[in-house]
Structure 1
Amino acid sequence: MAGSLKDQLLKAGIASKQQAKQAELDKRRKQKQKQGRRAPDQDERERAAAIEAARVAKREKDRQLNEQRKQEQAQRALQAEIRQLAEQHRIDPPENADLRYHFVWKNKVRSLWVDADLRAQLSDGRLVLVAVDQAFLLVPAAIAERIRHRDPNAVVQPDAGSADGTSGDDPYADYPVPDDLHW
């Protein structure tokens, strides 16, 4: 007997062709239901968890990059605003400026050619130096205050001494400074 059980039952007359077809149909339905209801195994769950973790990590990284770009854009906008304020209100020294005005910027002594009137205004605090794009511009004190609110590092601070240029613990405070000395 080399035939299948179905063939043997059909030959013996125990089952009809209709019953055989119905049995096959039922068998296929049960197999499909088993495949559809099959619980995911451990590997599939781990893979799904890893994919979700990677998705969350990528979303967080993208959020951080967007935040960093926004901060850089805000910083560039602030620098452009400072540049515009300084350029609109700058006071240019005359071409025949004959005095050098020395100031300290980032631990280095820098100088700017000015005339006597601009030097007096700088000393009184009516004019202030502002650093914009590696250049130093003279602006009125009110504009410098607006710039200082936006970026304190853009305004060149006057010396740490008192208003007359001397500090409280200066050992040479008792000695007069000659009138013709310009620093």
Structure 2
Amino acid sequence: MAGTLQDQLLNMGLANKTQAKKAKETKRKQTKKRKSGQEVEDNSAAIQSDLERLRQEKQARDRALNQQREEEKAQRAALAEARQLLEQHATRAPEEGPLDYNFVHNRVIKTLHLDRKQHAQLCRGQLAVAVLEQGYGLIADEVAARIEAKDPGLVIRITPEPETDPDDPYADYKIPDDLMW
């Protein structure tokens, strides 16, 4: 490495130009005092401690920046994995079906046209609604849970209705799934 120590410190970013200028000025004053025979105070220990402090601060900043980059990288990887799971396991919802299933997405009511089997599975919580790039689809609830852990905005999971009490006197009078209000 060629160059003075001052140039090397400037290139590494451990010192800035004002610090270099100040150090040069103090060195010039000290040499002038020595030549005139006056007593010179030694600031080399203070300068060394300042340089060490600056180096430690830079290392701390670098560590924090590296940690932030690693977290962002892990988050991007999790999102990519969630999208890949969605692409692999989601099936497109049929365009037409005998039953309509209404759900809320982004505070807007959306409708899926399903057959009876899909409608029953969705009501029981065995299927979930997948938010695809072009519309909506259906996905198994187990896969939807894994996707939701990585990115909750990609799936809409339906909570199944609780089981009825066996002592309920109205247990025989079930509300039909296709009842429209």
TM-score range, shorter chain: 0.5 to 0.7
Unaligned 5+ residue runs, structure 2? 1-39, 165-172
Q: Is the 8 A contact 2:147 2:155 kept in 1?
A: yes
Which one-letter code corresponds to 2:42 in the other structure? D
Stretch moving more, 48-57 or 154-163: 154-163
2-structure distance, mates of 1:125, 1:77: 28
CA offsets, 1:118-167, max 9 Å, x none? 2222112221124467965421123223334x437354342486257xxx
Unaligned 5+ residue runs, structure 1? 1-38, 165-174
2-structure distance, mates of 1:60, 1:134: 45
Percent identity reads 36
1:181 corresponds to: 179
Which one-letter code corresponds to 1:49 in the other structure? S
2-structure distance, mates of 1:140, 1:75: 24
2-structure distance, mates of 1:134, 1:52: 57
2-structure distance, mates of 1:128, 1:97: 17
Stretch moving more, 60-69 or 96-105: 96-105
Provide the aligned C-alpha RMSD in A.
Answer: 3.7
Q: Is the 8 A contact 1:83 1:132 kept in 2?
A: no
Which one-letter code corresponds to 1:73 in the other structure? K
2:110 corresponds to: 111
2-structure distance, mates of 1:159, 1:126: 9
Aligned length: 136
1:158 corresponds to: 158
1:41 matched to 2:46: no
Q: Is the 8 A contact 1:129 1:156 kept in 2?
A: yes
